[in-house]
Amino acid sequence: MEHFSDADLVSIREAMQNDEQLNRAVRNWIKVSRHIGANIRAEFPAEQALVLFALRDMIDGSDLTEAEVDLARRSESQFQTSLQNHPSIGIIVARIADDAKEFERSWSLSFDSKEGNDEPKPNPKLRLHNRDAMPLRSRGMRLVRYAISTAAVVTLISLSILQLSKDNQTRPTQIATVTNELRTVTLNDGSTLRLAPSSTISWDGEFNRAVTLTGAAYFDVVPSPTAFIVHTPSGTTTVLGTEFGVQTVDNGTNSAQQTIVTLVSGRVSLSLDDNDPSNDIILTPGKQGILTLTDISVSSVNLLDALAWSELIVFRDTPMKEVKEKLAKQFDVTIEMSHNLNETLLTGTFEQDRGIKEILDIVAAALGATVQIDSKSGVYSLSK
């Protein structure tokens, strides 16, 4: 599909609408492709082992820790088996090696030439974590491994869809976060998403309100006649305009894969990749749906707890007495509030890093109230 033009895709969609047999065939093809991607991930060693395998001819043994040498040795046979079963893995390995060579070339041009002839000779017994005494080349390879480890994680996501050609000139749009990174992304239709750490969102060609998610993201979707669709390994979430969180959970086996959808407002439809509409479930606000490869379960949840991974504080028609208690607990502060506000309902979504003072200022403005802080005790007071 990476080689289809926009006109090709429009023609295919029109043909699918007019030909039910073609429609079923394409959907079955996508289903098979996802299963192949899941099988690849199940057989694949850890990303760190992937980098070591790809760079086995470039990194000298003295550049590796004992743990890395052991990991490379243990994963060698597993990689050979994976390459036989899934030749497209070779594309990933080759791409990592090419990136490493380019990094080394750039490093050499930018830094080695500035060092003159004062660069110390490599010590084969030097441990990598002794950074201050590390020869320049070893430091360069250390940075290579950091840089490429991140690239490897991102690149692996592309295996979730079957690669039909080794000529991979056109790539899908892909946005990824690294460990401890939260990123807010505004899409072309005006919808926004908060991408959790170590997560990836992608789509093919021009954005058409259909994305593929690995990891977790909080979506705020603008209304549109065109449905917004989130594909995950274990199912599909379809919405028209709403706020919700989606998490994918991979416990190591295909049968254990889960997608967790938590609905804040609006309505979403949850469906398995079995082409059976009778299994679809409509989720309502305050509910959480868990999709596996075979079924969907629904339960009521506390939105603040269920979406804690997003580092968002979410209230939907929540009485202010509960808002006060949750904010006080979240920020470990004391909040006093006039009784006439206790039953007032609050709806809002706040980023935790705004801090308690800014959040209370926003709440007070919404309620027509005032907020004060005692400079001595640190107690916050909200009154109307």
Do 249 and 260 contact (CB within 8 A), yes or no?
yes
pLDDT recorded at residue 133: 41
Q: Which helix (H) or strand (E) holds 107?
A: helix 89-107
pLDDT tens profile 5-50: 777 777 777 787 788 888 788 777 777 776 666 666 666 656 677 7
Distances (CA, A) of 189 to 101, 172, 193, 208: 39, 18, 12, 8
Instruction: Kindly indicate whether the domain formed by 173-306 is annotated with CATH number 3.40.718.10.
Output: no
- One-letter amino acid at 112 equals D
pLDDT recorded at residue 218: 94
Which part of the chain has CATH 2.60.120.1440?
A: 173-306
Positive/negative CA dihedral, 110, 115, 120, 126: negative
pLDDT tens profile 282-303: 998 999 999 988 889 999 998 8
Q: 382 - beta bridge partners?
A: 337, 371
Which tokens in the block code for residue 354? Answer: 């705004």
pLDDT recorded at residue 166: 34
Measured CA to CA, the distance from residue 17 to residue 265 in angstroms comes to: 31
Is the backbone of residue 289 left (phi > 0), alpha (psi -120 to 50) or beta?
Answer: beta
Quote the strand ranges of the chain, DSSP E.
173-176, 183-186, 192-195, 200-203, 210-214, 216-220, 228-232, 235-239, 243-249, 258-265, 268-271, 281-283, 287-291, 296-300, 312-319, 335-337, 345-351, 370-373, 380-383
Nearest-10 Cα torsion for 45, 48, 52, 54: 70
Low-confidence ranges of the chain (pLDDT < 70): 1-4, 34-47, 60-63, 110-172, 251-256, 274-275
Distances (CA, A) of 78 to 34, 44, 46, 73, 271: 22, 8, 11, 10, 34
Do 36 and 162 contact (CB within 8 A), yes or no?
yes
- Which residues fall within 8 angstroms of residue 5, CB to CB, at 6 or more apart? none
Q: 150 - beta bridge partners?
A: none
CATH class of 311-383: alpha beta
Which part of the chain has CATH 3.55.50.30?
A: 311-383
